[in-house]
Amino acid sequence: MSQAKRLAVFPGTFDPITNGHLDIIRRGVKLFDELVVAIGVNPEKTSMLDAETRLAIIKESTGDIPGVRVEIFSGLTVDFAAGVDAAAILRGIRDSTDLHFEYDMALTNRIVARIETVFIIPSPEHAFTSSSMIKQIAKMGGDISSMVPTAVLPHIKAYGDASGPDKALDQ
């Protein structure tokens, strides 16, 4: 009798994906047979990059990582996880604020959907990296090349050029 594959879902908006996200993906895929990077679409939130662009960037950025696939979803993460028969949801925790939020969400997901959450703490060089911070730095003309995969750079530059220094970024 063959053993079922252990699959996890790593959900996020990935707007844009960061080297911190890639760190979590590279380390998380070692814990599971397959890792689905799940790009969440929230119609109430304005994204810098559309979902199809994020999908293409993440596929390019993770193409060398065996066991990773990338999908777009909308709705509840737990519903998506159940739909792909995931054993767990993978989350990165950078600080105590993330921990507090993710702890409450993990308990809720376990009670409501009976799915476990696995937390990974990022490598120190990525502990303070966030998509919001990257967008802000890019908007102000700063160099973000050390914080994002190469595939992100042309899209961030186009975004910075389009938004200009006076436009507010959507969080």
Q: Is 21 a catalytic residue?
A: yes
Measure the CA–CA gap between 12 and 19, rounded to whole angstroms.
14
Q: Is 131 a catalytic residue?
A: yes
Neighbours of 123 (CB within 10 A): 13
- Catalytic-role residue among 131, 135, 139, 155: 131
- In degrees and rounded to multiples of 5, residue 103 shows phi and psi of -60, -50
- Catalytic-role residue among 6, 45, 69, 100: 45
Contact 105, 88 (CB under 8 A): no
Q: Is 139 a catalytic residue?
A: no
Cα 98-104-106 angle, rounded to 5 deg: 90
- Catalytic-role residue among 26, 27, 59, 94: 94
- Catalytic-role residue among 21, 91, 135, 139: 21
Measure the CA–CA gap between 127 and 129, rounded to whole angstroms.
6
Which are the catalytic amino acids?
21, 45, 94, 131
